[in-house]
Chain A
Amino acid sequence: MIRFDAVTKQFPGGTVAVEDLSLTAPTGRITVLVGPSGCGKTTSLRMVNRMIQPTRGSITLDGQDTSRMNEAQLRRGMGYVIQHGGLFPHRTVLDNIGTVPRLLGWDRTRIRARSNELLERVGLAPELGERYPAQLSGGQQQRVGVARALAADPPVMLMDEPFSAVDPVVREQLQDEFLRLQGELGKTILFVTHDIDEAIKLGDQVAVLRVGGRLAQVAEPAYLLAHPADDFVADFVGRDRGYRALQFQETPRLPLRSEPTIVLGEQPTEPYAGWLLVVDDDRRPVGWVEPHRIGTRTVSTGDLHRGGTVATEHGSLRAALDAALSSPSGRGVIVDASGSLCGTVEAHEVLTAIEGTRRPERRGSPA
């Protein structure tokens, strides 16, 4: 547990970066600090490992005052990930990952084994281990950054906008894998971002900071979306917060209809008006097609309309609604856990389901 107790940071020159911040990041959970630039989120993060010293107040780690701990030891016990990974360009990927274990004096074979294990854990091929950071893509570098932070298995991870320098598709992958990893590891994580969507997706708890380093609200994401404490938070959380809140609601049983399909590479057997769903050999949806446009040809990948998103059976209501809204046929594609087709659902049916799930929100506390 990381606990900020009335922490203030005033820089020489008078700028107050953080003012009277009291906040608890519970053990084993992800706490996201989010806010516009100049809100002191990075400063707050760096006060935890004492890269910046607080002017007033205290920060405790599991009840121990960090200002009384040995600086280097404190840091080696905390994983730290920054934008672009902050990798050492002169070290190979494996040597980068082994940085903290080396500083801790582990023996060579143990460092080697641990580094290889982590390389695999963050989803990188073993042959990348001997490469230098410059030879990796941005997303791969970021994964190495996470692996390096995890190397000595620290209970605490500090992450400063780790995914903001990669493109949106890669970012989403990294976020998903980060959540999967956290599901296995259960670290106490303090995560800084300026992106409210990322905060809401990743945080067990989200702390919104305003310019000048004052805490505006801290709450679970769903509560934050439903009950912003003031106009600043409401503004920051954004316009479509009602829609986004749906991602925290698991889809109830939807009235799925069975959907006529055609297998990729086959030709339409009978005349069919409107959109027809194309699946692969394992009944996984690959896209939509208008049969009258291909006539008696076989359906090839070039004919596919890929605009529609796909939602999983027990996924969020947001995904289900999005699948319906984005589908060219107006019928949202729902698949099971293995990705094969369950059926389709229309937008109004999802809305009916949403109406049926209205229930009291989980509690959170305004600051």
Chain B
Amino acid sequence: MTWLADNWRTVLDLALSHLYLAGIPLVVGLLVSLPLGWAAKRWSRSYPALITTTGLLYTIPSLALFVLMPGVLGTKILDPVNVVVAMTVYTVALLVRTVADGLRAVPDHIEQAATAMGYRGLRRLLGVELPLAVPVIAAGLRVAAVSNVSIVSVASLLGVSQLGDLLVDGYNRVIWGELVTGILACVTLALLLDLVIVTGSRVLTPWLRVQGGRA
């Protein structure tokens, strides 16, 4: 505790950059996954290919991906953008399936009603399908958020600072206070992101909270 009391400014700074490195990819990854997931649902033949390909991205070791990024993007090795892009790749890997499955779970009779009313294209996606897929997508987003917070710490090995620095430094110099603080800060951050997603999902789905409400 004394360690935290002495270093809370550093911890706060690291937590903020950790939040940035894990959070921005979450938002960008979701925006990228929406059209991909929609395509996987729209053209059912593309579903297995899209889901498998994006899913496989998740199996690339994070360290390898971080190291690869400068080569792909032409960035400097210490540039945080490398981490942001790599984390976005992981987010997409997790979310494309979620988005596709969420959209596919919209009941058939509602899809047909939408068709019969003359809904089509983007308006149909934004007006009918996406709102109904929110609970499923939010569930996937929660997994991605926790996964991002945990994977981002590896970026310390490349010299991009965030809470992972506390783990590496605490381990190397055997400072228990620093090590425990790093772990607790990561957990707190993950819980915080989770809370934001759950709250957002609740705000977006008022109809599920009424008596007898269901998706």
Interface size on B, residues (CB 8 A): 24
Contacts of B112 in A (CB 8 A): 51, 82, 86
CA distance A223 to B132 in the complex (A): 47
Contacts of B215 in A (CB 8 A): 89
User: Does the CB pair B118–A88 fall under 8 Å?
Assistant: no
Contacts of A131 in B (CB 8 A): 210
Known: A86-B109, A87-B113, A90-B132. A75 touches B212 (CB 8 A): no
CA distance A173 to B113 in the complex (A): 24
**Interface 1/0s, chain A 45-89, versus B by CB < 8 A?**
000010100000000000000000001111110101011101111
Contacts of A147 in B (CB 8 A): none
User: Does the CB pair B116–A134 fall under 8 Å?
Assistant: no
Among A87, A88, A158, max chain B CB count under 10 A is at A88
User: Does the CB pair B117–A80 fall under 8 Å?
Assistant: yes
User: Does the CB pair A132–B119 fall under 8 Å?
Assistant: no
Q: Which of A229-251 contact B (CB under 8 A)?
A: none
User: Does the CB pair B213–A88 fall under 8 Å?
Assistant: no
B214 at the A/B interface (Cβ < 8 Å)?
A: yes
Which residue on A lies nearest to B211, using beta carbons? Answer: A135
B213 to chain A, nearest CB (A): 5
A100 at the A/B interface (Cβ < 8 Å)?
A: yes
User: Does the CB pair B115–A89 fall under 8 Å?
Assistant: no
User: Does the CB pair B118–A73 fall under 8 Å?
Assistant: yes
A143 to chain B, nearest CB (A): 15
Contacts of A78 in B (CB 8 A): 116
Contacts of B119 in A (CB 8 A): 103
A79 to chain B, nearest CB (A): 9
Which residue on A lies nearest to B119, using beta carbons? Answer: A103
User: Does the CB pair B118–A89 fall under 8 Å?
Assistant: no
CA distance A135 to B208 in the complex (A): 10
CA distance A158 to B132 in the complex (A): 25
Among A49, A73, A131, A132, max chain B CB count under 10 A is at A132
B128 at the A/B interface (Cβ < 8 Å)?
A: yes
* Secondary structure dominating the interface of B: helix
Q: B132 contacts which of A72, A75, A76, A89 (Cβ < 8 Å)?
A: A89
CA distance A269 to B105 in the complex (A): 68
Contacts of A71 in B (CB 8 A): 118, 120
User: Does the CB pair A134–B128 fall under 8 Å?
Assistant: no
User: Does the CB pair A103–B117 fall under 8 Å?
Assistant: yes
CA distance A240 to B29 in the complex (A): 65
B110 at the A/B interface (Cβ < 8 Å)?
A: yes
Contacts of B110 in A (CB 8 A): 86, 88-89
Known: A83-B109, A134-B212, A135-B212. A75 touches B205 (CB 8 A): no
**Interface 1/0s, chain A 31-51, versus B by CB < 8 A?**
000000000000000000101
CA distance A87 to B214 in the complex (A): 13
B201 to chain A, nearest CB (A): 13
Q: B210 contacts which of A84, A87, A88, A135 (Cβ < 8 Å)?
A: A135
CA distance A91 to B120 in the complex (A): 18
User: Does the CB pair A100–B118 fall under 8 Å?
Assistant: yes
Contacts of B131 in A (CB 8 A): 90
Q: Which of B133-164 contact A (CB under 8 A)?
A: none
User: Does the CB pair A134–B117 fall under 8 Å?
Assistant: no
A236 to chain B, nearest CB (A): 27
Chain A residues engaging chain B, CB cutoff 8 angstroms: 49, 51, 71-76, 78, 80, 82-84, 86-91, 99-100, 103, 131-135, 148, 158
Nearest first, the 10 A-B pairs at minimum CB distance are A86-B113, A80-B116, A75-B118, A76-B118, A72-B118, A132-B207, A134-B212, A134-B213, A90-B131, A86-B109
Extra 14 A-B pairs, beta carbons < 8 Å, given A76-B118, A89-B215: A51-B116, A73-B118, A75-B118, A76-B117, A80-B116, A80-B117, A82-B109, A86-B112, A88-B110, A88-B114, A89-B110, A90-B132, A132-B206, A135-B212
A sample of 26 cross-chain residue pairs with beta-carbon separation below 8 angstroms, ordered by A number, consists of A74-B118, A75-B115, A75-B117, A76-B118, A80-B113, A80-B116, A80-B117, A83-B109, A86-B109, A86-B113, A87-B113, A88-B113, A89-B110, A89-B132, A90-B131, A90-B132, A90-B207, A100-B118, A103-B118, A103-B119, A103-B123, A131-B210, A132-B210, A135-B212, A135-B213, A148-B117
